[in-house]
Amino acid sequence: MKKVLSWLLMAVMLLSCAALAEETVAATVIDFEDGNFAMLGMNTASGDADASVLTVEDYNGSKALHVDVKAKVPYVALNVEGLLGDNLEKVRSISFDVGVELGSDGKFYAASGKVYTLTDAGETKVGYDWSVYLERKNPKTAKVTLADVFFTNGAGDTLMITKESDAFVDSDKFPGEEPRDIWIDNIQFLDETGAALPLDLTAVWTAPVTGVDLSNLSVLSGAVALEGMAVEGGAWGQNGVEMTEEFLAALVPGSVIEISYESEDGSMWLVFPDSAAGWMRVCDGGKATTNNSKNIAQITYEQIAAVLGEDTSTWGARLQCEAATNWKVYSVKVGTKGPRMALTNAVEFAGFACEGGAWGQNGFEFTQEVLDALQPGTALEINFESEDGSMWIVLPDSAAGWMRVAEGGAATIIGDKAYVTYEQIVEKCGEDKSTWGARLQCEAATNWKVFSVKVGTVKQLVGLKDKVDFAGFACEGGAWGQNGFEMTPEIIAALVPGSIVSISYESEDGSMWIVMPDSAAGWMRVGDGGKAACDGSEAQITYEQIVEMCGEDVSTWGARMQCESATNWKVYSVSVAQAQ
């Protein structure tokens, strides 16, 4: 009996161990059978991105991720760092099943797309092709092998699966139909031997912050980076490097040093420890211009010269950063400051989406609406991406000849938008638009894509300094609805000739202006109808614009300042400042 009990006990223990082992075996495939897809989501940062809806549904006898494609390119992004952890750098290929929805006529139509790897903090983007081109292989197992560029753990790398061509909608036989949906299943990451790597299916994908917050800042042209300036320090601790000859040569009147950073309290300034004037802090105590996100700071040549003198040879060899709390600096560069551009009353160049290789042109015939909109003071706004960030236009049929316009860095590049002004076109092709030719093309020095083109009146947002915050100014309203607060003595004192009211906001159509409801001149809108300089996140209204409506005597402007927009809006902060 004891032997029998011993054998039974051993059997139970073995079964328990086997069950425990089965529970602790790491998953090696994302098969969606449990309905979980938190490790992926839609990345809508690209100009051609589709706001597809993701769900898990029954498909081909199992569960799969359903990508409900609306109109453009779906970018299905995966948190590869969270999924793979320490195994991320072992990934050499990716495998997944992909199926394509049949056409509305019940027939199969081929589709294709790419697997993109984004590495080097998003700076390096490599695409690998997949396709489903036969009905009997729908769904199909796609496998892409990484070449040359691999993932780095801790670098914020990611991966996206897209669908970019669709024979159903490309056939033009089905006007008004949406692109076909796709289903994705059985995603695996394989090492160099072809073995599937273990996955942490509790990983969660977080949408990236899109765009760069340029509020209050100038745009830099001809920027020179200070090599090796990725440093950190504790509160009131300095760290930096020696300035290169190239960096020093770019420090001239009108230039700006820009610091990309983070600190616990948002502060950042410069230290020149070897200056002939002595060990010097520059722009401490909040004198540096920072964006609303407190992660970019700008300090002008003039601000440095006011402390150290105008002779850069006396500034010393080293440039250091410092903050009042723990801080990190990611990059430092110097360039010539210029205004940010934004368009008002913009006209869309309908259907303008194309791409090309390095020094390759592509585009479309001008529409009459776009030609009519191109007037003095207007610009083309090109929403694009290219490997080196360059973009310009080509007028291939101009009477003046085959013309590149704004090449070689002459276009104003702000994030993913390039601006080419009417005046730049006139400089190459003349004022008579009838001689410009029928076609507008885009071009870049590297592989490029253009997602849209607009033309509108140019408004310039300038860099700001000496900001005075309108304390507590956060409110919202509906279309054509006003909301705001009584002006503080500090704000009234800051409203002097040359000053600018800066509004951090969002609205459905990008418009924003102010209302002075108690003005002696009457209930006054200021900056409405496209007169304010607005880029969708910051609006700037000048003192002179207020004077035009309310008169020069600030005491007659009334007690209140309100905000308003033509659509639903929110205002996060208001300040009064001077132009840099």
The boundaries of every CATH 2.60.120.1070 domain in the chain are 340-460, 464-579
Answer yes or no: are the C-beta atoms of 576 and 491 closer than 8 Å.
yes
User: What SS3 string covers 59-124?
Assistant: ECCEEEEEEECCCCECEEEECHHHHHHHHHHHCCEEEEEEEECCCCCCCCCCEEEEEEEEECCCCE
CATH (one of 3.40.50.720, 2.60.40.10, 3.40.50.300, 2.60.120.260) for 40-190:
2.60.120.260
Computed over its alpha carbons, how large is the radius of gyration of the chain?
Answer: 29
Which amino acid would we find at residue 463? G
CA atoms within 13 A on the CB side of 462: 14
C-alpha distances (whole Å) from 47 to each of 19, 198, 414 are 49, 34, 14
Answer yes or no: are the C-beta atoms of 452 and 531 closer than 8 Å.
no
340-460 topology per CATH: Jelly Rolls (2.60.120)
Cβ atoms within 10 A of the Cβ of 289, count?
24
Query: Buried b / exposed e across 418-434, counting CB within 10 Å, b at 16+?
Result: bbbbbebbbebbeeebe
Detail the DSSP E strand segments found in 215-367: 219-225, 231-233, 239-242, 255-263, 269-272, 280-282, 289-290, 296-300, 318-322, 327-338, 340-348, 354-356, 362-365
Tens-digit pLDDT string for the chain (580 aa) = 444 444 444 444 444 444 444 454 579 999 999 999 999 999 887 778 888 899 999 999 999 999 999 888 999 999 999 999 999 999 999 999 999 999 999 999 999 999 999 887 677 889 999 999 999 999 999 999 998 889 988 888 899 999 999 999 888 788 888 899 999 999 999 999 999 999 999 999 887 755 678 888 988 888 899 999 999 999 999 999 999 999 999 999 999 999 999 999 999 999 999 999 999 999 999 899 999 889 999 999 999 999 999 999 999 999 999 999 999 999 999 998 888 888 888 899 998 999 999 999 999 999 999 999 999 999 999 999 998 889 999 999 999 999 999 998 889 888 789 999 999 999 999 999 999 999 999 999 999 999 999 999 999 899 888 889 999 999 999 999 999 999 999 999 999 999 999 999 999 989 999 999 999 999 999 999 989 999 888 999 999 999 999 999 999 999 999 999 999 999 999 999 999 8
The boundaries of every CATH 2.60.120.260 domain in the chain are 40-190
CATH class of the structural domain 464-579: mainly beta
Answer yes or no: are the C-beta atoms of 177 and 12 closer than 8 Å.
no
Which amino acid would we find at residue 397? D
CATH (one of 2.40.40, 1.20.120, 2.60.120, 2.20.25) for 219-338:
2.60.120
What is the rounded CA–CA span in Å between residue 199 and residue 205?
14
